[in-house]
Amino acid sequence: MFPTRVKCLQRLLQLKHTCWCPTSLGKAPYSRLVLGIETSCDDTGAAVLDETGAILGESLHSQKEVHLRTGGIIPTVAQQLHRESIERVVQEALERSGVDPSRLSAVATTVRPGLGLSLAVGLEFSRRFVRRHNKPFIPIHHMEAHALTVRMLRPVAFPFLVLLVSGGHSLLAVARGVDDFLLLGHALDEAPGDTLDKVARRLSLINHPQCSSMSGGQAIELLAKDGDRTRFPFRTPMGKTYDCCFSFAGLRSQINRTIMKSEAEEGMRTSKVLSGGVASNQYIRKALATITDATALSLLCPPAKFCTDNGVMIAWNGVERLREGKGILPPDVDVSYEPKAQLGVDMMAEVKAAAIRTPSVRMKIPR
């Protein structure tokens, strides 16, 4: 059943691509250039890359400070901030690259998944831009772009295993091609970044002098470096479930009960504060390195600046798709944004049915 289903789905995937390849793309005397635009959440990003992955120019406007003051990401506020920033951000990326819009080979833009109001701003701007300059348009899946970023930095061949963890997503997939993914598992309740932010809010970490301008994940990572990792013995979620899915809500419940117990003992209450995105967590990287070292695998992590949302990864995804002629649309085609969108072919039922038991690994993670 497994190989038969995969082959059928592969054939369907091959048929779904709509491509547009104007003659000019094949005759350009210079390296093909892609403008990438990212507005999936609370960062407005743009970048121009050539087909080797060289970053010719980029610009990024973060809304973090605004959302810290308002206590979380308010979609209408994020949308307005994107509207106020996107033209400037794109213009800065173009000016820094020294590339005139007429020289672009395509424009790649995040259209799924993400905050609907934020995605709408990037898509609306991009549609006007490609029609004005008569350029091909490449709709980008945000998680596909994250998964392929490592190939911009080093020659990683397909297939490879992808672990994506962020403020809004958590998934494990096999990347078999630029647009060919097998989804092995994802978060069943909330994303790890969301859990970190909620715990930070419960602990009022924004009131800590070192953490006033940090997201929840950043604050916890910073303060945990000097903490006692053995003081609170939290149970690992889904330890007896033999699949590739994740659960973090139960872990957060354990933490909340521990906080309430400590508050009762100390006669105090904490107030609510911020909610924000997740940066690259070094402790998680060290834990993964311990696992890969013990299992003869190689761990490849992009630098932290490419792990957060940015226009570079979107432009690179566009480069990859442009090379293979996949998902390239003419400028006048209507495209819709999708706040929710699965990555690849869902293989989670097959994975669960296989009930593969993995050996335990004793982990001693260096500080």
Beta strands in the chain (DSSP E): 33-38, 43-50, 55-62, 106-112, 137-141, 160-165, 170-177, 180-186, 345-346
Q: Determine the Cα–Cα distance for residues 184 and 176; give it in Å rounded to an integer.
A: 13
Question: Where do the CATH 3.30.420.40 domains begin and end in the chain?
Answer: 34-153, 157-268
Choose between 283 and 95: higher pLDDT: 95
Topology of the domain comprising 34-153: Nucleotidyltransferase; domain 5 (3.30.420)
Mean pLDDT of 204-223: 85
Q: Reply yes or no on domain 157-268 having CATH 3.40.190.10.
A: no
In the three-class reduction of DSSP (H, G, I as helix; E, B as strand; rest coil), residue 79 is classed as: helix
Distance of CA 58 to the CA centre of its chain: 18
Centre a 10 Å sphere on the Cβ of residue 190 and count the other Cβ atoms it contains.
18
Strands 170-177 and 160-165: antiparallel
Query: How far apart, in Å, are the Cα atoms of 157 and each of 161, 177, 212, 262?
Result: 11, 9, 42, 50
Q: What's the token pair of residue 140?
A: 């980008």
Q: Would you place residue 30 in the very low, low, confident or very high pLDDT band (cuts 50, 70, 90)?
A: low
Q: Does the pLDDT value for residue 100 go beyond 90?
A: yes
Query: How far apart, in Å, are the Cα atoms of 328 and each of 53, 54, 322?
Result: 19, 21, 7
Q: Would you place residue 280 in the very low, low, confident or very high pLDDT band (cuts 50, 70, 90)?
A: low
Q: Which of 7, 324, 346 is nearest to 186 (CA)?
A: 346
In the three-class reduction of DSSP (H, G, I as helix; E, B as strand; rest coil), residue 196 is classed as: helix
By the 8 A CB rule, do 338 and 118 touch?
Answer: no
Mean pLDDT of 103-117: 97
Choose between 103 and 283: higher pLDDT: 103
What whole-number percentage of the chain has pLDDT above 70?
Answer: 87
